[in-house]
Amino acid sequence: MDFKQSIAGCVEDALNRAFGQAPLTGEEIAQALEVPPDTGLGDYAFPCFKLAKGLRKAPPLIAQQLKAAMDSPFLSRVEAVKGYLNFYIDRALYAREVVETALAQGAAYGGGSEGAGKTVCIDYSSINIAKRFHIGHLSTTMIGHALSQLYRFRGYRVVSINHLGDWGTQFGKMICAYKKWGDRAAVEKGGVDEMVKLYVRFDQESQDDPALADEGRAWFKRIEEGDPEALEIFNWFKSVTLKDAEKVYDILGVKFDSYAGESFYNDKMEPVIQELRDKGLLTQSEGAQVVDLSPYDMPPCLILKKDGATLYATRDLAAAFYRKKTYDFAKCLYVVAYQQSLHFKQLFKVIQLMGYDWYKDMEHVAFGMVSYEGETLSTRKGHVVYLEDLLAEAVKKARAIIDEKSPDLENKDEVARQVGVGAVIFFDLYNNRIKDIDFWWERALNFDGETAPYVQYTHARCCSVLRKAQQGGVQADYQALSDPEAQEVVRLIEQFPGIVTTALERSEPSMITRFSVDLAQAYNKFYYERRILDDDPAVQAARLNLTRATRQLIHTALGLIGIQAPERM
């Protein structure tokens, strides 16, 4: 079912019939088709201006002659207006095509297989060891998760990578602090919080005792040299951090295929550095080794420090080569805050300068900052909002609302979890990713706003309508879906596959979030204006099919962005 394509085919036939030739191919005609700004002018319009020269006729005349030659079973009307040919799709037929296609394809509707045989690496969440997950990490985690789902939906193999921040001198300091004041049981129990306390204490005490810093450095050296004790503690810090993070990932329903982080590339940088050297790309700058990027108006990319230490960029460079070699990716995405834009521009540029074409397949998926009820997150001022706490609070608040609105609901805890967590994710994925977000409870949990609870509620409403309906094997009369309210729902359902495509092209999950709201709003309007459980069984059957398709599509759309849709609320 592709109305645009079918209309293009009919126009091509009409051209042949009217003029004995078709100066444009069906494909070109499809591309030229426009959607008129006003539905009164039809569903699609074909501008005839480009044909004027070849056919040696004025566009209005071409339109007239084409109109006379048009023959299409699914157009209710064709009008020639000035140089345009306007097409009106038969409403009932349109509704039947769209709704039945969506229902026949079920959960696969909107998906595809263009990604078959192709791999996409998505680097997201990428947390830092010994640091807690705060709400600033929500965007990378959920945008990355949504993109993973969208790519899988289109048949790609996705490798989700948590590029752990697990390298740096701070880990030497932490081990030193742990050896001096730490307690294994306390860290096991307190998790990351306990580690952060150790780090803070180290920072404070080393101000009075400079020797401490040397000890910290010595421990870091031991990690670098593979000293067993240092490694044992370091790896244990990692596993404690990951255990904490996994609690949050479980709540969010997020999983990773790889946790290969910065330290994983310790032994993989040397060949890349050698290659940079061989290709004459490394230059000395104040003792450091850099790739000069001044011709591209960028500061140099630091590869080796004066003391020979590697940097964040060196590791990312090695990681890019490792990913290309291991996964042969068709695309490699980095879902990282916009503050790191320059870093990724430099990274991609260096790979290009090394002569690899696949730098074009790499993309920095940048996003804005998150603040909380008007306050920015700042560790120093102590305004940190931890994601785990925020999610727990969301579930609690959702539970209170459910207790009030639906006291008799059976699985209240489960629904409160789906609604609370969904509200947070939805809020995060509602706007264009580059926009900064200010999280407000009142807005996230508003059941009447553009929120997860609103969309979830609409899904539950569809489920309830379908439960109540007596469903016989009656043929649906799609004439019943010719009214503007039903047509709007149909139109949105038809657009969904295209929206998935655009969301992927732009790496913009918010398009799916917005779609879910548009569909819910359109359905609710239809629900209030039309009686679904109508006396005429054929009318009822058509409205129920529309309800069924809506339920399915809300479920699909929310699922793609990582939100569950309860059947009852």
Which residues contact ligand ARG (rule: CB under 6 A)?
123, 126, 128, 163, 165, 316, 319, 334, 336
| Nearest approach, Cβ of residue 241 and ligand ARG (Å) | 12
| Nearest approach, Cβ of residue 334 and ligand ARG (Å) | 5
| Nearest approach, Cβ of residue 128 and ligand ARG (Å) | 5
Query: To which H or E segment does residue 547 belong?
Result: helix 537-560
Across 270-302, b (16+ Cβ under 10 Å) vs e yields eebbeebeeeebbeeeeebbbbebeeeeeeebb
Please say which residue, 72 or 128, places its beta carbon nearer to ligand ARG. 128
**Residue 347's closest CA among 369, 364, 326, 323?**
364
Please say which residue, 123 or 450, places its beta carbon nearer to ligand ARG. 123
Residue 160 region by backbone torsions, left for phi larger than 0, else alpha for psi between -120 and 50, else beta: beta
| Nearest approach, Cβ of residue 47 and ligand ARG (Å) | 46
Please say which residue, 150 or 319, places its beta carbon nearer to ligand ARG. 319
Please say which residue, 145 or 163, places its beta carbon nearer to ligand ARG. 163
| Nearest approach, Cβ of residue 308 and ligand ARG (Å) | 21
- Strand ranges of the sheet holding 301-304, from the earlier edge strand across to the other edge: 282-285, 288-291, 301-304
Please say which residue, 317 or 520, places its beta carbon nearer to ligand ARG. 317
| Nearest approach, Cβ of residue 382 and ligand ARG (Å) | 20
| Nearest approach, Cβ of residue 253 and ligand ARG (Å) | 21
Within a 13 Å sphere around the CA of 90, how many CA atoms are in the beta-carbon half? 11
Give the number of residues written for the chain: 569
- Say which residues have a Cβ less than 8 Å from residue 345's Cβ, sequence separation at least 6: 298, 364
Q: How far apart are CA 365 and CA 556, in angstroms?
A: 23
| Nearest approach, Cβ of residue 165 and ligand ARG (Å) | 4
| Nearest approach, Cβ of residue 73 and ligand ARG (Å) | 54
Please say which residue, 316 or 508, places its beta carbon nearer to ligand ARG. 316
- Cα dihedral 392, 193, 309, 326, rounded to 10, equals -40
Please say which residue, 19 or 386, places its beta carbon nearer to ligand ARG. 386
Please say which residue, 136 or 509, places its beta carbon nearer to ligand ARG. 136
Across 150-188, b (16+ Cβ under 10 Å) vs e yields bbbbbebbbbbbbbbbbbbbbbbbbbbbbeeebeeeebe
Please say which residue, 134 or 461, places its beta carbon nearer to ligand ARG. 134
The three-state DSSP-derived secondary structure of 341-387 is: HHHHHHHHHHHHHCCCHHHHHEEEECCCCEEECCEECCCCCCCCCEH
**Residue 309's closest CA among 221, 402, 431?**
221
| Nearest approach, Cβ of residue 151 and ligand ARG (Å) | 18
- Cα dihedral 415, 419, 425, 426, rounded to 10, equals 140
- Say which residues have a Cβ less than 8 Å from residue 329's Cβ, sequence separation at least 6: 119, 120, 121, 159, 323, 358, 361
Please say which residue, 69 or 354, places its beta carbon nearer to ligand ARG. 354
Pair of tokens at residue 386:
């931890």
Strands (DSSP E) found in 165-287: 282-285
Residue 520 region by backbone torsions, left for phi larger than 0, else alpha for psi between -120 and 50, else beta: alpha
The dihedrals phi and psi of 385, each to the nearest 5 degrees, come to -110, 115
Q: How far apart are CA 99 and CA 545, in angstroms?
A: 7
Q: How far apart are CA 173 and CA 409, in angstroms?
A: 52
| Nearest approach, Cβ of residue 137 and ligand ARG (Å) | 8
Please say which residue, 126 or 545, places its beta carbon nearer to ligand ARG. 126
Please say which residue, 78 or 130, places its beta carbon nearer to ligand ARG. 130
| Nearest approach, Cβ of residue 240 and ligand ARG (Å) | 17
DSSP structure class, residue 528: H
Within 10 angstroms of residue 54's Cβ, the number of other Cβ atoms is 12
| Nearest approach, Cβ of residue 195 and ligand ARG (Å) | 16
| Nearest approach, Cβ of residue 319 and ligand ARG (Å) | 6
- Say which residues have a Cβ less than 8 Å from residue 542's Cβ, sequence separation at least 6: 95, 99, 476, 477, 478, 479, 480, 481
Please say which residue, 24 or 240, places its beta carbon nearer to ligand ARG. 240
Please say which residue, 123 or 215, places its beta carbon nearer to ligand ARG. 123
Within a 13 Å sphere around the CA of 5, how many CA atoms are in the beta-carbon half? 2
